[in-house]
Amino acid sequence: MIFNIEVNNKTIKAQKGDTILMALKNNGIKVPTLCHMEDFKATGSCRMCVVEVEGKPNLIPACSYPVEEWMRIWTHSPKVIHARKTIVELLLSNHPDDCLYCERNGNCELQKLAIELNVRERRFPGKKNKYKTDPSSASIVRDPAKCILCGRCARICEKTIGVSAIDFIGKGSKSIIGPAFNKGLNISSCINCGQCILVCPTGALYEKAHFAEIQDALHNPDLHVVIQYSPTVPITLAEEFGIKPGKDINGILNAVLRKIGFEKVFDTAFAVDLMVMEESDELIDRLQHDGKLPMFTSCCPGWIKYIEQFRPDFIENLSTCKSPQQMMGAVINSYYSQTNNIPSEKIYSVSVMPCTAKKFEAQREQMTHKGITDVDAVLTTRELARLIRLNGIDINQCEPGTPDLPFRNRSSAGKIAGVSGGIMESMIRTLNYKLSGKELLNYKIQEIRNVKGRKEITIKMGGTEIGDGCD
Amino acid sequence: MNGRGGGGFPTGKKWKIAHSTASDQKFLICNADESDPGAFMDRAIIEGDTYRLLEGIAIAAYAIGASRAYVYIRAEYTQALEKLKHAVGQAKTYGLLGENIYNSGFNLSIIIKQGAGAFVCGEETALINSIEGKRGMPRTKPPFPAIEGLFGHPTVINNVETLANIPAIFDYGPHWFNSIGTQKSKGTKVFALTGKIRNTGLVEIPMGTKLRDIIFTMGGGVKNFKKFKAVQIGGPSGTCITEENLDIEIDYESLKTVGAIMGSGGMVIMDEDTCMVDIAKFFMNFLQKESCGKCIPCREGTRRMHEILEHITKRPTNEGGHETLERFKGIMQLESLAEVIKTTSLCGLGQTSPNPLLSTLNLFREEYEEHIFDRKCRANVCRELRTFYIDVEKCTGCTLCLKKCPAEAIIGTPRNPHFIIEDRCTGCGICFDICKFVAVTVK
């Protein structure tokens, strides 16, 4: 049911059942928010989105109040602006004053609000809570002093990820968000997926930096520093440099990495091919010898930790293959090391991954061989962008290059590992060949080339019908 | 009948909303969390007349179609809890609770849920969250609990006193109930008289009774023949009423005209020895500690308001002149900050948190100004603002105060009058207490 409401003295259309915020958004009217998350039920914590509604003595939170017919709303009346400004000032009164040194300088929602609301003085000089940073996790650093308690991280960890590693602890102005008993994140049930970092509006959560080690290694003449990058990285990197998001700058990336000082640049997509070869063999072995089915892929370290912690009954279903990052790390330290006569202790192996969980994976005990880690340090795409900037490289001025041998060539199946459903498609192509001896005619499997939450397909391959699903 | 928990929402209307909302499961919750400092009306009802409460619960549950009722009682009420458990057990034994009660086809089970010490869990949506096993943080309204409450089902939450009124209404009829009280507010209300009053305790009065009668006739007037200063009604959410409005007739509407609220029934009487700034500070401290922390205005705002109040009751040391300005600035900000907190907080705790402060600031502005500019507390309550001095006529030089002074602020030789160094004096009052010759007085 559509009806009229009045906003800022203009009549607009609103739908019954929508919140005021939705109705405003559908009409292009913006109202600042802080704790709001798309697709999540509003909690009404931050009170930033308050608006003035005729007839109501208090200000109304637009995110959670349903829109009613004949409402007369003012989104930027003096009362509302003063309230929003006071709320931001209250937040700032309990926030460290170190924007210039902060991870999120220039990219912080609190900073943006302070600018938008023209905050110019410290109106509430008072005590600030003192908290210690928690750098225990291999992937994620917590800084509770910068937390504004919007609760986004807790909500996404509980509802989307289903882990609930962090939640509210304590009461009142002593509340913080942390893992159970406020112990280190490394001993909590956190699977290192990094989604909390994605939704955190301030610098309270950020990825563990491995910047410094890599810089040291690059300037160490004794070490042979090599780098591998996931197929997703060249596609997501472009956005950081003002290039159209989604443009593949693979060639340029190879050149850029050499300019920074990496002695060899390898493409992880090569290792994806390796992994598909190994894993398809494993699946066929299980199919033919009554092995544990269904078989789950094992590239994602967050997924692995999740299974280990919450569903250990499925551990045997996991594929025993390593992830492409680790396979590449392993072949660098063995094949590459031997054929190029560089002892593996002298090789410093770096990888660039679009994911924080890979930092955790690289330092796992199991990912070593005779005491030498397969991958020494992991950079996220964001960290790579910083490294590029720090070295003063203008990527628009670089000529594209190719990765180095022996890990240069890859199939298209290797590349599509970077997208949803990609590994599955790669597996299907290889399985089909192995089982029927023939290549798939339509090797671009459109049914799984989408971003649906769950995809399922059954294919006849060489006399066997195999069902595949991926979430 | 208006709800007796403080909100004053018409009980019948709430029941009707829940009754007409379709659902396969409905709940009735009795709010026995009673956490207002000094309030003990509900406790007396639960301890003294438990079955009356259970009867009220049963009638309410039947009215809305609920088959499960919860009594959310604060864990600190150990005796009331015991009585409640016993009463529910007895009711079960006699078939007054359970399946198909007396072959009526109506099922009702009463579950007792203990609180865990949070004042905010008296707020209905926080209470619901608490019963569901989550953190006791309030939810946004709408949706209102009568439509979508406990576990997503229609839920009615009623205060103990509200439910305790129900059986009498059924026994004697609505006409009887409506014959008591005023035009808009019917029935009786229980008040807890506390503070500087001769007769402390509970009184149940018909709506429309004059406030003066409650305090001076039933309460016996101010203790120790001191002068009446103000009465604080409504607990931490409440405001003060002074001498000029004492002839007001207690009912929901008339209290609003003097800027006060009925609240749950707490009445704290204050005399000339009460410092109004200290009262505001006390309630702000309480609210600050009990804030759940969910929304910014309450969590951070009450903290800053409390800080400003602490600032003006703090020891004056080496003040360069601009501190006075800072304090005054703080007070000016208080009003604007209070307005924002009032209009943007998520729940009643935050929304009413500035009330004690604003009310005392409005009625006793001179006291605030004395604290800020003159650095004096006329009631001699604010410790750090007290200065003591020794009457040279009375002092015998016994050196007792000199020895006991923790700040070494007293100087003197034996058998000669002693002297208190104002700059060192912390206002603790030990010398005042121990002087046998009444030589130490407050300036």
- B304-313 pLDDT, tens digit each: 999 989 988 8
State the burial class of residue A62 (Cβ atoms within 10 Å of its Cβ: 0-12, 13-18, 19+). buried
What pLDDT, on a 0 to 100 scale, did the predictor assign at position B85? 96
Q: What token pair was written down for A180?
A: 């159970």
- Chain B residue numbers with beta carbons less than 8 Å from the beta carbon of A87 are 296-297, 340, 344
Whether B46 is covered by a domain: the verdict is: yes
Among B130, B149, B174, residue at a domain's last position: B174
Chain B residue whose CA is closest to A174: B293
- Picking from B123, B125, B181, B170, the residue whose alpha carbon sits closest to that of residue B148 is B125
Cβ pair B351:A64 closer than 8 A: no
- Chain A residue numbers with beta carbons less than 8 Å from the beta carbon of B354 are none
In this structure, what CATH number is given to the domain that contains residue B418? Answer: 3.30.70.20
**pLDDT surpassing 90 at residue B84:** yes
CATH code given to domain A419-471: 3.40.950.10
What is the mean predicted confidence (pLDDT) over B62-87?
Answer: 95
**Residue B82: other Cβ atoms inside 10 A:** 12
Q: Do residues B90 and B157 share a domain? A: yes
Q: Do residues B288 and B320 share a domain? A: yes
**pLDDT surpassing 70 at residue B318:** no
- The answer to whether B263 and B190 have CB atoms below 8 angstroms apart is no
Indicate left, alpha or beta for B33 from its phi (over 0: left) and psi (-120 to 50: alpha). Answer: alpha
In this structure, what CATH number is given to the domain that contains residue B82? Answer: 3.40.50.11540
Specify the higher pLDDT residue, A227 or B443.
A227
What pLDDT, on a 0 to 100 scale, did the predictor assign at position B29? 97
- Chain B residue numbers with beta carbons less than 8 Å from the beta carbon of A79 are 343
Chain B residue whose CA is closest to A56: B343
Which among B297, B307, B345 has CB closest to A127? Answer: B307
Q: Do residues B370 and B242 share a domain? A: no
Chain A residue whose CA is closest to B332: A123
CATH class of A140-207: alpha beta
Whether B156 is covered by a domain: the verdict is: yes
- Chain B residue numbers with beta carbons less than 8 Å from the beta carbon of A40 are none
Residue A227 CA to residue A89 CA, distance in Å, equals 45
What pLDDT, on a 0 to 100 scale, did the predictor assign at position B315? 75
In CATH terms, the fold of domain A212-418 is Rossmann fold (3.40.50)
Nearest chain B Cα distance for residue A25, angstroms: 20
What pLDDT, on a 0 to 100 scale, did the predictor assign at position B14? 95
Which residues in chain A show pLDDT less than 50?
none
Whether B92 is covered by a domain: the verdict is: yes
What pLDDT, on a 0 to 100 scale, did the predictor assign at position A427? 85
Cβ pair A168:B135 closer than 8 A: yes
CATH class of A2-76: alpha beta
Nearest chain B Cα distance for residue A452, angstroms: 29
Q: Is residue B320 very low, low, confident or very high in pLDDT (cuts 50, 70, 90)?
A: low
Asked whether this chain's domains A212-418 and A419-471 adopt the same fold, the reply is no
Whether B2 is covered by a domain: the verdict is: no
Residue B405 CA to residue B407 CA, distance in Å, equals 6
Residue B407's domain comprises: 386-442
Cβ pair B293:A42 closer than 8 A: no
Q: Do residues B353 and B395 share a domain? A: no
What pLDDT, on a 0 to 100 scale, did the predictor assign at position A201? 96
Cβ pair B304:A124 closer than 8 A: yes
Q: Do residues B396 and B315 share a domain? A: no
What pLDDT, on a 0 to 100 scale, did the predictor assign at position B91? 95
Chain A residue whose CA is closest to B303: A173
Residue with tokens 């290694």: A217
- Chain A residue numbers with beta carbons less than 8 Å from the beta carbon of B118 are 171
Whether B180 is covered by a domain: the verdict is: no
Cβ pair A93:B300 closer than 8 A: yes
Which among B140, B297, B351 has CB closest to A87? Answer: B297
Chain A residue whose CA is closest to B300: A90
Q: Do residues B305 and B359 share a domain? A: yes
What is the mean predicted confidence (pLDDT) over B401-409?
Answer: 89
**pLDDT surpassing 70 at residue B377:** yes
Q: Do residues B294 and B255 share a domain? A: no
Chain A residue whose CA is closest to B135: A168
Residue range B237-278, pLDDT digits in tens = 899 999 999 999 998 889 989 888 888 899 999 999 999 999
Contacting B with CB below 8 Å, chain A residues are 42-47, 50, 57-59, 61, 64-66, 79, 82-83, 86-87, 90-91, 93-94, 123-124, 126-127, 148-149, 151, 168, 170-175
Among B374, B406, B431, residue at a domain's last position: B374
Whether B430 is covered by a domain: the verdict is: yes
Residue B302 CA to residue B281 CA, distance in Å, equals 11
Residue B378 CA to residue B385 CA, distance in Å, equals 10
Q: Which of B53-57, B119-123, B328-332, B359-363 is the least confident region?
A: B328-332
DSSP conformational letter for A323? P
**pLDDT surpassing 70 at residue B4:** yes
Which among A57, A126, A172 has CB closest to B291? Answer: A172
What pLDDT, on a 0 to 100 scale, did the predictor assign at position A239? 85
Cβ pair B300:A64 closer than 8 A: no
Q: Do residues B89 and B194 share a domain? A: no
Nearest chain A Cα distance for residue B354, angstroms: 14
DSSP conformational letter for A134? B
Cβ pair B343:A66 closer than 8 A: no
**Domain total for chain B?**
4
Whether B162 is covered by a domain: the verdict is: yes
- Chain A residue numbers with beta carbons less than 8 Å from the beta carbon of B289 are 171-172
Cβ pair A171:B292 closer than 8 A: yes
Nearest chain A Cα distance for residue B23, angstroms: 19
What pLDDT, on a 0 to 100 scale, did the predictor assign at position B375? 82
DSSP conformational letter for A66? B
Residue with tokens 């089970």: B109
Residue range B222-248, pLDDT digits in tens = 999 999 999 999 989 899 999 999 999
State yes or no: cis peptide before A294, omega within 30 of 0: yes
What pLDDT, on a 0 to 100 scale, did the predictor assign at position A267? 92
- Give the DSSP letter string of B197-258: BSS-EEEEEETT-BHHIIIIIIS-SBGGGPPEEEEEESGGG-EEEEGGGTT-B-SHHHHHHT
Q: Do residues B260 and B280 share a domain? A: no
- The answer to whether A358 and A378 have CB atoms below 8 angstroms apart is yes
Whether B133 contacts chain A with CB within 8 A: no
**pLDDT surpassing 90 at residue B151:** yes
Q: Do residues B215 and B77 share a domain? A: no
Q: Do residues B263 and B296 share a domain? A: no
Q: Is residue B321 very low, low, confident or very high in pLDDT (cuts 50, 70, 90)?
A: low
Among B374, B397, B431, residue at a domain's last position: B374
Q: Do residues B30 and B167 share a domain? A: yes
Which stretch of DSSP H or E encloses residue A278? helix A268-288
What pLDDT, on a 0 to 100 scale, did the predictor assign at position A408? 79
* Residue A110 C-beta-side C-alpha neighbours within 13 Å: 28
**pLDDT surpassing 80 at residue B355:** yes
> What are the residue boundaries of the structural domains of chain A, listed by start?
2-76, 140-207, 212-418, 419-471
SS3 readout for B115-133: CCCCHHHHCHHHHHHHHCC
Cβ pair B297:A90 closer than 8 A: yes
Please give the biggest Cα pair distance in chain B. Answer: 90
Q: Is residue B79 very low, low, confident or very high in pLDDT (cuts 50, 70, 90)?
A: very high
Whether B317 is covered by a domain: the verdict is: yes
Chain A residue whose CA is closest to B297: A87
- Chain A residue numbers with beta carbons less than 8 Å from the beta carbon of B302 are 173
Cβ pair B290:A171 closer than 8 A: yes
Q: Is the dihedral of CA A139, A142, A148, A154 positive or negative?
A: positive
Residue B406 CA to residue B440 CA, distance in Å, equals 16
